[in-house]
Amino acid sequence: MRLSGGMRRILRAAGLAVILLCIGTLSGPVSAQQTNWVTVQTIRDLAGAVSLQSGQPLLAGHSYNLTVAVNVPFSQPTSDFEVTLDSRMNAGGPQFWYIATASYGGYDPSQFTPGSRTIRFKQVQGDLALSAVFSVPSDFTISDSGGLRLRFPADNYRLLAVTVTGGSVVGEVKAKISDGTIENYLNAYAQGSTLISAGKIDSTYARFVNDVLKRSQALYGLGLAEEATTLLVVLDPGAFPAPPNSAVITYLTAAMGVSAALAVVFVILVLRGRTKSGYANLVVNGVQKELAALEITAAQYDKNLADRLKVMRDKLGEAT
């Protein structure tokens, strides 16, 4: 019997569906991309004995107690699973691991190695609760480049992973890791960003304030969080006098922009290793002269503002 073209297409589609079904059956019930056996219960900063809130970063140099629940959805007699703490984390005490549910069926005390970063269990259906005690290295966020100490946070950093026999990852814990200097800048920037809208600085100065914020972000993006924080010191509401005329504001903004732009260019040159100390001093001296000009103008309206600009100029001098 001869089949029509339409019937042949239907039979081919049915055969393909059977093949795909068989492949899906052979691939097994666990997919590392579609499951996470791990739930974070608490992360406690041991320095202050406080629990971190959702989204709050871990800080370099601090010690933590990370408590997790591992939910094993099914038993597999021929399979183990391993829980591994990231290799960059240091021990926060005599051992990394502490078991909270010793009754878990896959736990064998004789095989438990709490001083190792990786611990192993038999894959037995049930719930396992355990804690990892560790410290984040104090230099975790720091990298050196051309003699500069740069700081960068790590977003979505994997602290802990659970893998089954064969290497598939079935669970993980990720967190942001920062440091005190970075967080100080972020807090200062957040406060500075609201000064105009909150009425703490007159809106006449909006262009000047926004320019300072923009330049500080440029420095922060280069890894210079401390220098970016220093730049924000000028945004002290108490240092701003009654608004002068618009021509003076334009001058202040333009001069501030030139100074900050020169500073950023200098940083980029250093990072690329294309500058010599003599040229570096020349650039810094140029920035200092711009700040000195700002001091003269600011002093006509408010001594506190002029004094703060002088502090910035002095700090640049100390760095050369």
- Per the prediction, the chain carries an average pLDDT of 80
Name the domain boundary from 148, 178, 208: 178
What pLDDT score was predicted for residue 147?
82
DSSP letters along 289-302, please?
HHHHHHHHHHHTT-
- Which band of pLDDT confidence, cut at 50, 70 and 90, is reported for residue 273? very low
Does the residue 46 lie in any domain?
yes
Q: Left (φ > 0), alpha (ψ -120 to 50) or beta: where does 192 sit?
A: alpha
Confidence of residue 288 (pLDDT cuts 50, 70, 90): low
Higher pLDDT, 128 or 311: 128
* Per-residue model confidence (pLDDT) at position 254: 61
Q: Using the 8-state DSSP alphabet, how is residue 154 labeled? A: E
- Whole-model pTM: value is 0.69
Is 74 a member of any domain? yes
| 174/49 same-domain check | yes
- Asked if residue 151 has pLDDT above 50, the reply is yes
Which of 125, 155, 178 is at the close of a domain?
178
- State residue 50 phi and psi, 5-degree precision: -120, 150
More confident residue, 211 or 259: 211
Burial of 205 (0-12, 13-18, 19+ CB in 10 A): buried
| Alpha helices (runs of H) in the chain, residue ranges in sequence order | 5-26, 180-193, 206-221, 225-232, 246-271, 277-299, 303-319
pLDDT at 82 over 50: yes
CB atoms within 10 A of CB 63: 18
Query: What CATH number should be reported for the domain holding residue 111?
Result: 2.60.40
CB count in 10 Å sphere of residue 295: 17
pLDDT at 310 over 80: no
Across the range 272-287, mean pLDDT stands at: 49
* pLDDT of 49 over the 60 cut: yes
3-state secondary structure of 54: coil
202: domain range?
182-319
Q: Band the pLDDT of 164: cuts 50, 70, 90.
A: very high
Domain's final residue, options 178, 206, 239: 178
| 15 belongs to a structural domain | no
Are the CB atoms for 217 and 229 separated by under 8 Å? no
As given in the structure block, the two tokens for residue 177 are: 């890791």
How far apart are the C-alpha atoms of 51 and 97, rounded to whole Å?
19
Domain assignment present for 17: no
* Shared-domain flag, residues 277 and 207: yes
Answer yes or no: do 135 and 252 share one domain: no
Residue 33: predicted pLDDT: 37
187 and 253 share a domain? yes
Within-domain flag for 32: no
The per-residue pLDDT for range 168-186, each reduced to its tens digit, is 999 999 999 999 999 999 9
In tens, the pLDDT along 100-140 reads: 999 999 999 999 999 999 999 999 999 999 999 999 999 99
Structural domain contains residue 11: no
Q: Please count the structural domains in the chain.
A: 2
Q: Find out whether 260 and 235 touch, Cβ atoms under 8 Å.
A: no
Do 74 and 161 sit in the same domain of this protein?
A: yes
Q: Is residue 216 part of a domain?
A: yes
Q: Which of 153, 151, 152 is nearest to 176 (CA)?
A: 153
Q: What is the DSSP string of 75-135?
A: --TT-EEEEEE-TTPEESSS-SEEES-TT-TT--GGG--TTSSEEEEE--SEEEEEEEEEE
186 in the same domain as 174: no
Phi, psi of 122 (to 5 degrees): -75, 145
Tokens of 182: 């970075």
- CA-to-CA distance for 188 and 11, rounded, in angstroms? 68
pLDDT at 94 over 80: yes
pLDDT at position 221: 94
- Lowest average pLDDT, out of 33-47, 159-173, 189-203, goes to 33-47
